[in-house]
């Protein structure tokens, strides 16, 4: 499975937060833009960029998430635990896809009544990358890169190595 380095994704994410034109380009031509920014996507991988908004939250069921390293505390731990459960229970996965807010809440993940939750499942040849809403509007690209480094918005395709 292809993986994108966390540092590479953090740089791309910071650039998308700082430059709306870049974000649009990344969304419309993800493979090419990822390659142009230091990540060589294998030719058999399809990539979809999802953009969170004030009304929409995108969550990814990651391949191999049972051993994927999350950073960022209880929310990510609860999501990882839910992913482990759905690997063992196909019915729970179906329920999550059909009624995300209910299943997320039942599994200790805070939900907002103001958000529509969308769940996507990665496959062997289709990865999803999420551009979350930046926590701190108005920061420089460098500052945004610092806060984006711990996000797991790259789904199960992130690695922790410092190359690529």
Residue 138 lies in a domain: yes
What is the rounded radius of gyration, in angstroms, for the C-alpha atoms of the chain? 15
**pLDDT for 4 beyond 90:** no
Q: Could you tell me if residue 164 is inside a domain?
A: no
**Rounded-to-integer distance, Cα 37 and Cα 47, Å:** 15
pLDDT of residue 161: 43
For residues 40 and 94, the model is more confident at 94
14: in domain = yes
Q: Would residue 109 count as lying in a domain?
A: yes
For residue 56, is it within any domain?
Answer: yes
In this prediction, residue 15 carries a pLDDT of: 96
Structural domain includes residue 122: yes
In a domain, 95, yes or no: yes
Q: How many structural domains does the chain have?
A: 1
What is the domain extent for residue 41? Answer: 4-159
pTM: 0.76
DSSP string, 39-76: ----TT-EEEEEE--SSEEEEEE-TTGGGPPP-SSHHH
pLDDT at site 142: 54
- Does residue 111 have a pLDDT over 50? yes
Please state which of the ranges 17-31, 52-66, 88-102 shows the lowest mean pLDDT.
52-66
The pLDDT of 27-50, averaged and rounded, is 91
Average pLDDT, integer, range 53-78? 70
Identify the CATH number of the domain in which residue 38 sits: 3.90.330.10
Q: Count how many residues are written for the chain.
A: 164
Residue 106 lies in a domain: yes
Answer whether 107's CB lies under 8 Å from 89's CB.
Answer: no
């Amino acid at each position: 499975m292809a993986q994108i380095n966390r540092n590479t994704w953090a740089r791309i994410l910071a650039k998308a937060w700082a430059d709306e034109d870049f974000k649009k380009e990344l969304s419309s031509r993800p493979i090419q833009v990822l390659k142009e920014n230091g990540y060589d996507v294998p030719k058999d991988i399809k990539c979809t960029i999802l953009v969170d908004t004030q009304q929409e939250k995108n969550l990814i069921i990651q391949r191999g998430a049972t051993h994927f390293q999350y950073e960022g505390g209880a929310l990510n731990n609860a999501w990882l635990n839910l992913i482990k459960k759905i690997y063992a229970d196909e019915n729970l996965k179906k329920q999550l896809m059909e009624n995300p807010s209910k299943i997320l809440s039942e599994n200790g993940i805070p939900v907002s009544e103001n958000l529509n939750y969308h769940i996507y499942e990665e496959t062997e040849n289709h990865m999803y990358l999420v551009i979350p809403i930046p926590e701190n509007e108005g920061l420089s690209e460098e500052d945004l890169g610092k806060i984006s480094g711990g996000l797991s918005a790259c789904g199960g395709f992130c690695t922790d190595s410092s190359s690529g």
